[in-house]
Structure 1
Amino acid sequence: MTKKLLIIGFVWPEPKSSAAGSRMLQLIEQFLNQDFDITFACAAKTSDNTYDVSQLGLKTQTILLNDSSFDEFISQLKPNVVLFDRFMVEEQYGWRVAEQCPNALRILDTEDFHGLRKARELALKEGVDVTVEHLQNDTTKREIASIYRCDLSLIISEAEIDILTQKFNIDESLLYYLPFLLEPIPEYKINDLPTFEERQHFITIGNFLHPPNYDAVLYLKQTIWPIIRQKLPKAELHIYGAYESQKVTQLHNEKEGFLIKGFAEDVNVVMQQAKICLAPLRFGAGLKGKLVDAMQNGTPCIVSTIAAEGIFNKTDRSLSEVEVNGFIEDNPEAFAQKAVELYTNAELWQDKQDHGFKVLNTRFDNTKFEHDFTQKIEDLSADLKRHRQNNFVGKILQHQTLQSTKYLSKWIEEKNR
């Protein structure tokens, strides 16, 4: 019997533009390894950076928002499993899936905990630490409602698992830890990377449409880079990212060595040219793709606690005690000092580079997750009725009196006729 998976994308995957795009391709590979026949559906427009998933053997389908044509499409497809790419997609299509294919396993890929990112953004604007009130924002309420309505939610960071279970008392049976799923780096690839002496300058990279990335670039420009530049007057900071806007472009200043480079066609090339990667993120959530790119290419990093979250903190020890591929600093002066130290010390740089390879090969080896994830999908599918009975909150949220998104969608559809 053919197993069918429907993935409903928030956007068409763009692995060159964002970590979310790479993450989606990793999930697709996992389900292909489970012998699923996969259809990828999306209401967004494609772009020049869109990855052609059909070359992986996937079927593709353009769908509409607030339109019952989706009901006909999914009722004919009859998927065994439906994967929602972020909670906003579940809000739009989840009730339609539940009505047309009630026995399909519903999985939410959170990408990252959006409510946590919002809480940190609010706290940053207020200049205070994150409080329970910040965490209980409207985005969190919507996202957790989506988690309850689904049978399983994929969580990319252990730190977010802790917050969801400890701060919001979500049952662990609804959550599944599935981080970045990466190929181990063989020794011969490590040996082929450019050496300390062959590299120069600093780099930072990230999709400029993502608010934490723009904030980090601005923070570098105004606060951190002037300190580094004073100590290293010939050094440059190369800033890469997709979808640069005028407010980003105008930050370019050759005299300051602050260079906006724009979209990187090949992140591996630009990352291997750089000596140090800087990631002073002040808010955000999930795992940071820029750190993975840096470690894969042997580029040590100076990062903030938020940037490091979920990458290095496997245990309950503080991040400062964990071996990382650089340094973790939140104070701008200390951040700049460590950047200069790492930039000028070849022995220290090599040591930190080695830590990065170790982190990737021990924490994110895809082969370590594949069997357990396959078993989880099979077990849930076989015992779905009991699983849903144990999730009474989810049943409440599926009740018609609380499905505001459903009736809003129906109203919009009628209005558009």
Structure 2
Amino acid sequence: MQNHLVIIGAVWPEPNSTAAGSRMLQLIALFQKDNYTITFLSSSSKSDFSYPLDNQNINTLHIKLNDTSFDTLISELNPTLVLFDRFMMEEQYGWRITEKCPNAIQILDTEDLHFLRKARETAFKQHRALQPEDYLSDQFKRELASIYRCDLSLLISEYEMELLTTTFKVDSSILHYIPFLNTPITAEIINDYPKFSERSHFMSIGNFLHEPNWQTVLLLKKSWKSIKKAIPKAELHIYGAYVTEKAKQLHNEKEGFLVKGRAESVEEVFTTARVLLAPIPYGAGLKGKLLDSMLYGLPNVTTAIGAEAMSGDLDWNGYVSSNEEDFIEKAIDLYQNEVVWNQSQENGVQLINNRFNISLFEKGFIDKVNEILENTSNHRNNNFLGQIFQYKTLQSTKFMSKWIELKNRN
């Protein structure tokens, strides 16, 4: 009998808008390679930029929040596995799956640790260093409870894996590290990269609805005048989906600070620019824009948060800056120094091939899933905290959801 994977998405994947959308398609590809039937469910509305999952032999269905129609649907689908896209989806639907399909393996794709991003945002906006107590928010408690309730949680960052296992003592048996996945960059691809002299201008990119991306744009606006003064002919092109009115107001032709909105072709903007600027002030997980910069041979200047958990023991594909003055200095140097630029490009190739090569992770991931499928009872019995959280959540979330459903009907 063919295994059936049901994915419950917070949104329909938009790989050209968000790194999370690309990540979801990578996970789907792994399951399809292992011959899974896949159904994708979401309560959100599709946009013009949603990926055409139906064209990939994936069944798609719209579902309702706080509605018993989901119970009937999930019983009919009778999945082998359920994958939650972010912990909020597990909170909303996990208890229903436990009730209607108790044998289905439940997997949480964290995308990144939301409580970590929240803690860093709090410290950043209060202009201070991160404190251990910043972690212990309501979001932390919700996210950790979700991780414990699931049979397996996927972590995209080695830093976050270490944080959960070492600081918060989560058993590694219910966690699995699987980063962004890419095919190796070959010599042929490298030879096709536009050279240093064939590229011009700086660029930055990021979905404007994501708060860390907006803060990054504000930092770029602050630093740009100094960079422009040193390189008068240079421009900074800001790309990103869902550009806001406040972002458009930063556009200034005279200053060469150009807010361009959604990129029609990510490959084109990455292969024509000379340097990517990403002074990311806070966040979590891995940064898709920095991985793309490696893929397209575009060196970058970023921060320690931006580069977190990406390079391991290897050299960065550009510079990691420590403060605003250092960022400006590194941006100017990388733009003008062809020797450093070429070496940075080569570093990016090494990072992709040695840290994000799909062949390093695909078998281990499927083997882990199959191991849980074959030993579900023992796996769950060893995760006794998960059983406690399942019991408590089944009581509280279930009755809250039913109350909302009744209220909606009335």
TM-score by length of structure 1 reads 0.97
Could you tell me which amino acid in structure 1 is paired with residue 390 of structure 2? Q
In structure 2, relative to structure 1, the CA distance for the partners of 1:403 and 1:249 (3 Å cut) is farther
The yes-or-no answer on 1:363 pairing with 2:355 is yes
Paired position in structure 1 for 2:15: 15
**2:95, 2:393 within 8 Å by CA — same for their partners in 1?**
no
- With 325-334 and 402-411 compared, the bigger mean Cα shift is at 402-411
Paired position in structure 2 for 1:388: 380
**2:240, 2:261 within 8 Å by CA — same for their partners in 1?**
yes
Paired position in structure 1 for 2:270: 271
Matched ranges for 1:55-74 at <5 A:
55-74=55-74
Paired position in structure 2 for 1:319: none
3-state SS in 2 of match to 1:411: helix
Could you tell me which amino acid in structure 2 is paired with residue 7 of structure 1? I
Could you tell me which amino acid in structure 2 is paired with residue 52 of structure 1? P
Could you tell me which amino acid in structure 2 is paired with residue 270 of structure 1? V
Matched ranges for 1:235-250 at <5 A:
235-250=234-249
In structure 2, relative to structure 1, the CA distance for the partners of 1:401 and 1:378 (3 Å cut) is closer
Matched ranges for 1:177-188 at <5 A:
177-188=177-188
3-state SS in 1 of match to 2:352: helix
Q: Percent identity among equivalent residues?
A: 53
**1:227, 1:333 within 8 Å by CA — same for their partners in 2?**
no
**2:115, 2:140 within 8 Å by CA — same for their partners in 1?**
yes
- Give a deviation string over 1:121-150, Cα, whole Å, max 9, x none: 000111111111101112111111100000
Measure, in 1, the Cα distance between the counterparts of 2:5 and 2:225: 50
- Give a deviation string over 1:1-33, Cα, whole Å, max 9, x none: 111000001100000000000000000000001
Shift of residue 186, structure 1, vs aligned partner: 1.6
Gaps of 5+ in 1: 316-321
3-state SS in 2 of match to 1:413: helix
The yes-or-no answer on 1:167 pairing with 2:167 is yes
Paired position in structure 1 for 2:52: 52
In structure 2, relative to structure 1, the CA distance for the partners of 1:131 and 1:402 (3 Å cut) is farther
**1:11, 1:43 within 8 Å by CA — same for their partners in 2?**
yes
Among candidates 365, 371, 396, match of residue 373 of structure 1:
365
Q: CA RMSD in A?
A: 1.0
The yes-or-no answer on 1:290 pairing with 2:274 is no
Measure, in 2, the Cα distance between the counterparts of 1:141 and 1:287: 22
Matched ranges for 1:6-405 at <5 A:
6-222=6-222, 224-312=223-311, 314-315=312-313, 322-400=314-392, 403-405=395-397
Paired residues, number: 409
**1:202, 1:277 within 8 Å by CA — same for their partners in 2?**
yes
Shift of residue 55, structure 1, vs aligned partner: 1.2
In structure 2, relative to structure 1, the CA distance for the partners of 1:209 and 1:401 (3 Å cut) is closer
- With 354-363 and 392-401 compared, the bigger mean Cα shift is at 392-401
Shift of residue 285, structure 1, vs aligned partner: 0.4
Measure, in 2, the Cα distance between the counterparts of 1:204 and 1:358: 22
**1:280, 1:330 within 8 Å by CA — same for their partners in 2?**
no
Measure, in 2, the Cα distance between the counterparts of 1:374 and 1:405: 31
